[in-house]
A and B are shown apart, each in its own frame.
Chain A
């Protein structure tokens, strides 16, 4: 009897183990179910290459290009800021900081990660945007750059923690060998440790990108949401995520606009899926 009970438990455990795969498939399926329905009325070429996003026009235009470029622009800006900062921080925490400082810094980075995106959006809107506006003399502070700065600080914890793991995972023999040959600690870091941790570093950048491109509330409040093809960081942009959040409430369930937003969601899911897949492979490689 006990054996039977145990077998049931083990079956339940097995099911739970595979639950995650099930959820990923479910998410993809439900996004695709409604997202691909768009292509019954609107051609895929128009969607993927259309330069205008104007759901209220007659006829409505569902071109994802301005949204995609908006997301990419904000992401690139955020990565440009967060990767150098994150790398420096990770090196410091992993290699240089004394024990007590390390704990404080790690706790600090964790708290940074914990700040909800709505709060970052709120502070960004009330303080960062006017600051950027005055600094660059812009007509408005609601720009891609403002979004990039705010998002950089949201991505840094992800980047720092994975980079730091990668750096501390480098075998001590490498470092000791280098030091034995007369190199300074710093020389060892940038000539030996970092290159050895490179696939972990690459993975962290990819996961940082994934984090930023998927951010919604902060960008919705501080990037201005103008569906232009962006020329520079100092102008308002409209991201895919903000578009979904802002326009979803308005659509009638089952309308073309509804399907179009699901299609945008599907594109987002596909992008983050690919990024996470390759990041995981890079991490897996590093562990070997």
Chain B
């Protein structure tokens, strides 16, 4: 008996070693990878789509918009979810690998700036936000608040939300501007963590997608400049673009979508798909 067990073990080990150059098993599962902001939305879409189309199979993985782009370039996903637009270098790299990149806007999102409920500051301009996150503005009293050192929170670098904030807020719309996040800025692994910290810390400020806000935090109104208008992020102000920090949520594919992938994207863009967007606290396209 023991001899059999040992030989069986040896055989399986050998089999594993021998299987190495072997068949790359054909996958019939649609791989969606990318934005953590969108991962729940992606999963909700996938669940509903699979209920209506039982033969379809969709796997959703997060990791950040950057992860999705990386997977798109390496060819390891069918759809890359992204909360920011694809960068030129990424487009180039994808083309170099023979991928024909297609872009689909599937929903809209607003970036809400969040502060502690006890914070008296109720409105901020983009320039002030930039000052906070580059470290130029260090104390709340420079913004009309209490005399307390500002604790700035951010998402990690792999997040599309982070990149969007970097380009649109910190660099005030100039994609390759010189401004950087100050080293003192905390980089938290998720929007959840930011909400959690901000709700517990009087001096904290952070930014999250609209779908993540809760009543444990307050949302100051944002304006492009001192003249205003200061707009709060809501469904309406995001849809009509009066809120300055609204962004598109996107799907990227490495080729013209066909078959189940095409059906899925059509579903996402349909009335039903967009209703799911609303349910998940994002903003539908219309």
Given a CB threshold of 8 Å, the question of whether A touches B is answered with yes
Contact partner of B70 (CB less than 8 A), chosen from A142, A246, A252, is A252
Q: Which of B164-200 contact A (CB under 8 A)?
A: 166, 176, 178, 180-181, 183-189, 193, 197, 200
Task: Tell me whether B186 and A225 are in contact (CB under 8 A).
Answer: yes
* B residues near A56, Cβ cutoff 8 Å: 157, 163, 166
Which B residues are CB-close (under 8 A) to A248?
Answer: 158
Is A102 part of the contact surface with B, judged by Cβ < 8 Å? no
Q: Are A139 and B70 in contact (CB under 8 A)?
A: no
Do the beta carbons of B158 and A249 come within 8 Å of each other? yes
Q: Chain A contact residues: over half helix, strand or loop, or mixed?
A: loop
How many cross-chain pairs have Cβ atoms below 8 Å apart between A and B?
Answer: 90
- CB-defined interface of A115-142 with B at 8 Å, one 1/0 digit per residue? 0000000000100001001000001111
| A228 interfacial contact with B, CB 8 Å | yes
Residue B246 at the A interface, CB < 8 A?
no
Task: Pull 29 A–B residue pairs with CB atoms less than 8 Å apart, ordered by A.
Answer: A52-B183, A56-B166, A66-B183, A130-B200, A133-B201, A139-B204, A140-B151, A140-B186, A140-B197, A220-B189, A221-B193, A224-B186, A224-B188, A225-B189, A226-B183, A226-B184, A226-B187, A228-B183, A236-B186, A246-B187, A246-B189, A247-B158, A249-B66, A250-B63, A250-B157, A252-B70, A252-B93, A253-B70, A253-B73
- Whether B74 lies near A139 (C-beta < 8 A) is no
* Min distance, Cβ B118 to any Cβ of chain A, angstroms: 13
In the complex, A14 has a CB within 8 A of chain B: no
- A229 vs B184: C-alpha distance in the bound complex, in angstroms? 9
Residues of chain A with a CB closer than 8 A to B180's CB: 54, 57
Docked CA distance A207–B65 (Å) = 38
CA distance A125 to B157 in the complex (A): 20
| Known interface pairs A225-B186, A225-B188, A225-B189; A250-B201 also in contact (CB < 8 Å) | no
List the interface of chain B (C-beta within 8 A of A). Answer: 10, 63-67, 69-70, 73-74, 90, 93, 149, 151, 156-159, 163, 166, 176, 178, 180-181, 183-189, 193, 197, 200-204
> Within the assembled complex, what's the spacing in Å between the Cα atoms of A139 and B138?
13
Q: Given A140-B204, A252-B70, is A246 in contact with B156 using a C-beta cutoff of 8 Å?
A: yes
Do residues B151 and A252 form an inter-chain contact, with CB atoms below 8 A?
Answer: no
Residue of A nearest to B162 (CB): A56
Q: Which residues of A contact B204 (CB under 8 A)?
A: 139-140
A238–B181 Cα distance when bound, in Å, is 14
CB proximity of B225 to chain A, nearest CB, Å:
25
A53 to chain B, nearest CB (A): 8
Contact of B156 among A66, A142, A247 (CB under 8 A): A247
Identify the closest chain B residue to A130 (Cβ): B200
Q: How far is the CB of A104 from chain B (nearest CB, A)?
A: 35
Residues on the B chain within 8 Å of A55, using CB:
157
What residues of chain B lie closer than 8 Å to A12, measured between beta carbons? Answer: 10
With a cutoff of 8 Å between Cβ atoms, the chain A residues found around residue B65 in the complex are 250
Whether, in the assembled complex, A204 has its beta carbon less than 8 Å from a beta carbon of chain B, the answer is no
Docked-complex contact B186 and A221, CB < 8 angstroms: no
